[in-house]
Structure 1
Amino acid sequence: MSNRRVVFVVGSGRSGTSTMSGTLQTLGMNVPQPEVMADSTNPKGFGEPQWVVDLHQELLARSGVQVSDARPRAWLEAGKLSADHAVRERVSEWLESQFAEGGDELVIKDPRAAWFMGLWRASADRCDATSSFVTMLRPVTEVIGSKKKYYDQRTGDVTRTAAWVNMMLHTERATRGEARRFVRYGDLLADWTQPVFALGEAFDLTAVKTAMANDIAQVHKFIDPSLRRVTLTWDDVEVPASLRDLAEETWQTLDGLADEGGDTESAHQHSDQLRVAYDEMYADAEAFAHSTALAARREGATAARRELESAPSKVSSTRGADRVPHSVRALVPEGARRSLRKALNRQRGRDA
């Protein structure tokens, strides 16, 4: 039996995934190099392999999925690439090289990985490695508050809350039946030894089980409870009551999975019910917003048409469409773009 192990640290961003990855690395597991550089949003470091982050960004762009995507169908779009043979071959080759260079126990951490867990699981199997999953848990209000503080301010509370529900419920479903553990960020900060050494036993991680006193001392220095700098409650988050209630129930259900013996069939069924409820809520929201989406499309088409009409008619080296900002062109239906191109070509023919 192979001694190869790969631990995937998953969960929403700002939930303590970096702290968990850094802890396992300090105890002797290998985070593939080079890593994403630390910055002011994560001064202790991200514990993320740069190659993995670059891969996920590429795959998300190809599938049209955002890092924090609230759409239930986004999982289907990302899943198409997870099943792509060429992508699996590429990931398997990289993973094999990391085992050859860094030893038998790897840590792969990136919040984007949740979209591609099937890809990573299949690639680990190809490398004859045992996969296990650590899902980090932090109250949704704290996650939202932390993202508001450190990330793009254009994303509102409603979108962030919905994306968290979508991400966490599907992460639970995607790891079900696998070797997995749920760890509360608060528990990791309060006394990291209990959840981490429990992981070592559950996943049979030699580096964790045989950690030396110096390694343990270094983890005590690494984990800084003061880094939990955001502690919002629902009083601080502006979302509709129905979404708030669903998100809170989702949190309570996931939080229970972290209890000893809490990962039960009953909890799985409740999670499935919540996922169905969220899908229905999102479908209702899309139906309500349909007119707004159509209006945005019309506005985009009008803006593109005006841009084309205002452009000089005799331009030999640059197409009119190329002068329209991409963000505007993306809003124009393909049929409308074709019509505009034909009209522009006819005008060029008359001017020639």
Structure 2
Amino acid sequence: MTPGVATAAASQAPSDAGITARTDSYFNRTKEIVGHFGDCQVTYVFFIRRPVISAPGIALEWLKNVMKARNAPYTVELIHPEGEWIGAGEPIMYITGSFLHLADLETLLLQKLGSTCVAAHNAYQMALSLPNTKFLAMDARHCAGYEMQELMAYGASVGSRAAQKDGATGFVGTANHAVAAFFNTTHGFGTMPHALIGYAGSTVRAAEMFYEIYPETDLTVLVDYFGREVTDALSVCKSFPELAEQGKLGVRLDTHGGRFMEGLNPQESYAVVNRHAPEALRRYRSDTELRYLIGTGVSAAAIWHMRDALDNAGFPNVKIIASSGFNVIKCACMTDAHAPVDVVGTGSFIPDQWNETYATADIVSYNGQERVKIGREFLLPSLRTLQKGPGS
């Protein structure tokens, strides 16, 4: 299980009254009916309709806390352990226990399962796309509250660990203290927002102020505030030559999509990528892919342009940190262009099509008798065993 899950707020069980208030009313009514006519042993199956990476840890920890408080025994058959790839519609897990005590938990379990598994899958793909690049989870600002933040950060950490098993560097941390434990760190990472540069009045002065207060921290400086990314990056390097030489200085590119980085335009952006990775432009590209390669904002061309400027000025050890919409497709485009990015800060593992995160649960057994609604027979445990075949 991912570190930190046991203490995650999303895994802590509310009171029965809290569960009643948050669950769908028909489940509450079912609980009352079962309580009146007699309990039975049921088996639930949980699945998602799209491929995902298994990330059930928070949901299962929450279930454990609820069932402990209710003094209700149950069992879990985890078909796909945490970090394992799951095909569309495949059962993730079976949960068996008292219908009376499980009936009102379905809504909340599904909330904690679907989106985390999709986030894990996105993070996995992103990390594998740029296997030599470090990732920093910067999802908090895009989340609808802290519980969502926990679920998204947890999913990213699970997907990252799966990618690391396949040789990727993956996510090395997050920007937020509260979820740092998911990434085996004790605190959030980050140096400065644009607001600090506005306060300081210049990019160099903001760097000086930061370094004066945090001299033991590697210095990463935003360079897009004044639209002089290359000019300001080189000015910072010249102001901190020792840090630049030691590889403890980085420049963060966060140019917004409304303009090109300093020194670039459509023609020059094309020329930069064509010079470094011509094969990236030699096949069909969608409009979105072309924007990521040679368009406005933090494109592959922008990253290469910054790398060239740093190297030509004698600062080859200065790191490039990139942010701004690094989703799965953008990461893949950066790979195609061999973009020399050292760190990517992103929260774009958050699912962008929320309907794809909808997990589903069905009861497939009542007191040991298999029964499920028509069309879902493929979820029955006995059929699953047969489908696997001998020796599976």
Same topology, TM > 0.5: no
Structure holding more strand per residue: 2
Task: Sort the TM-score into its range (normalised by shorter chain).
Answer: under 0.3
Structure holding more helix per residue: 1
Q: TM-score, normalised by structure 2?
A: 0.22
Q: TM-score, normalised by structure 1?
A: 0.24
| Greater Cα radius of gyration, structure 1 or 2 | 2
